[in-house]
Amino acid sequence: MCSKRLRRSSISVDEYGEITVKTPYSSQKRVFALLQRKEQWLRRTIAGTSFRKKPHIPLEVELFGEIVPVSQTDLFLYIKRLKEQTPQSMERAYNTFYKDLAKEYLPQRVRHFEEQMNLKCKEVRYRKMKRRWGSCSREGIITFNTNLLKRDKHFIDEVVVHELAHLLHFNHSQAFYEFVKRYI
């Protein structure tokens, strides 16, 4: 970083091992000469310090069946708000992003198909699941996998209809599939 307001040059090494040079010089030759003069100090500092691994921040994210730049999503804001970008905090940011998006998008789709199918669920819930896209309890509670938002909108609608159909047919019988076919 070059700034005419600086009076002296400084070199620092952060917790990830990245070197930052702040200097009043705009000439690359002078900055390079400064780094050469401080080479021994830099080598000792880097050799004597155990650095943390910088977490990988992907540039793209899966959203509605497409690959979208992270900068165009709210995920960018979630990551920006993190105090520390550890793998655990990054995973929490992703999970929160998808859960919030599910809470925003899925209720509209549920209401849309509830009206078409003339059904009403008691409650809609959201959580990250490993093996299911959704589930429906006998009490009328439908739970959707938050990773569903990574899939295309037609697939999401299929899952919504499938789970709503379980309110009427709590099995995978022929009648269940015929009912689902009417709406998908």
Divide the 184 residues of the chain into consecutive groups of 10 and give the mean pLDDT of each group.
Answer: 71 76 81 85 79 64 88 80 79 90 96 95 94 94 95 96 95 94 91
Same domain, 88 and 154: yes
Same domain, 69 and 157: yes
pLDDT for 73: 82
Would residue 53 count as lying in a domain?
Answer: no
167, 119 contact by CB (below 8 A): yes
Would residue 16 count as lying in a domain?
Answer: yes
| Torsion of the alpha carbons at 21, 27, 31 and 34, rounded to the nearest 10 | -130
Whichever domain contains 78, its CATH number is: 3.30.2010.10
CA 151 to chain centre: 14
Same domain, 29 and 118: no
